[in-house]
């Protein structure tokens, strides 16, 4: 599939070593890489539809100190969608109030009535981009109804409702940032880990060093602000279990074979 890396802290931390190890996994995830540093103004977001280890741009970036309080990174192993920039994570979208949302996904959407309408407005062809379109669309609807920007608790509720609507039958490991909050969710065992980083947290599909990483909780949305857990969501029952035959059928359906 893909791999995710996320950081949320209360003060800037140097993340070069984490990024170097993370992007070294691109030999197995060769279909694109992306990096979002979300505390910069403007936000730094770079993605390329090539193997991370082949990127001269990334190599030069990692030669400089990279310090941040908010980060999302991704390396892609494509299942749906060609190797194009518009199919490369992280995806970004601005809501009607000007808030920038950034999402990276590790997983597969086999079927979702909630996401199907989003295919008509997306830039690329991935199911992952549709998750972000769905969430931002729901945020926009609430803002129009209320005539104001959505508060933290309202954004959390909308994200959680969307995740619960998408997860049945699907793998939905996501990192989502709205400029203030980092939303983290996984529903397959052994596919996301966490550890303390300074006065915050780092999340990764695989442990990136020999420190004590613990497995991230299954089947619940967790929300962080400046490195601190501010919301622990309701646990759901839609655990994803990988099925090679199901993946093969999805690939055949997508490729038209």
Sheet holding 228-232: strands in order across?
91-94, 100-106, 173-177, 182-185, 222-225, 228-232
pTM recorded for the entire structure: 0.94
The reported pLDDT for the residue numbered 250 is 65
Residues 6+ apart with CB under 8 A from 57: 46, 48
Region of poorest pLDDT, from 23-32, 36-45, 225-234: 23-32
How many Å separate Cα 212 from the centre of its chain? 23
Distances (CA, A) of 231 to 88, 168, 169, 225, 234: 29, 22, 25, 9, 10
Residue partners of 147: CB distance under 8 A and separation at least 6: none
Residue 132 tokens read as 């972000």
Place 254 in a pLDDT band, splitting at 50, 70 and 90: low
Mean residue pLDDT across the chain: 93
Strand runs labelled E in 95-241: 100-106, 173-177, 182-185, 193-197, 200-204, 214-215, 222-225, 228-232
Mean pLDDT of 108-123: 89
pLDDT at position 77: 84
Alpha helix locations (H) across 84-190?
Answer: 127-146, 152-166
Q: How far apart are the first and last CA of the chain?
A: 21
- Band (257; pLDDT cuts 50, 70, 90): very low
Confidence grade of residue 45 (pLDDT, cut at 50, 70, 90): very high
What is the mean predicted confidence (pLDDT) over 162-190? 97
Range of the domain at 105: 3-255
- Total domain count, the chain: 1
Contact 89, 80 (CB under 8 A): no
Residue 71 belongs to domain with CATH number: 3.60.20.10
Of how many residues is the chain composed?
Answer: 257
């Amino acid at each position: 599939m893909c791999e995710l890396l996320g950081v949320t802290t209360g003060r800037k931390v140097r993340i070069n070593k984490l990024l170097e190890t993370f992007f070294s996994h691109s030999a197995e995830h060769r279909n694109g890489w992306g990096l979002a540093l979300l505390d910069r103004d403007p936000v730094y977001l770079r993605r390329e539809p090539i193997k991370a280890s082949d990127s001269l741009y990334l190599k030069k970036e990692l030669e400089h100190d990279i310090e941040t309080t908010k980060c999302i990174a991704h390396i892609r192993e494509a299942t749906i969608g060609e190797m194009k920039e518009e199919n490369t994570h992280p995806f970004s979208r601005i809501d009607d109030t000007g808030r920038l949302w950034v999402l990276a996904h590790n997983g597969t959407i086999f079927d979702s009535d909630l996401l199907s309408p989003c295919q008509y407005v997306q830039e690329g062809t991935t199911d992952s981009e549709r998750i972000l379109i769905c969430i931002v669309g729901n945020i926009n609807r609430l803002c129009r109804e209320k005539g104001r920007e959505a508060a933290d608790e309202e954004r959390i509720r909308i994200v959680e409702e969307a995740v619960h609507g998408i997860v049945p039958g699907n793998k939905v490991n996501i990192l989502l940032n709205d400029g203030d909050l980092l939303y983290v969710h996984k529903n397959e065992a052994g596919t996301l880990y966490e550890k303390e980083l300074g006065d915050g947290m780092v999340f990764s599909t695989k442990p990136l060093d020999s420190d004590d990483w613990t497995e991230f909780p299954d089947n619940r949305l967790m929300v962080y602000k400046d490195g601190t857990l501010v919301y622990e969501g309701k646990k759901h029952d839609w655990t994803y279990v990988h099925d090679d035959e199901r993946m093969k059928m999805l690939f055949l359906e997508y490729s038209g074979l």
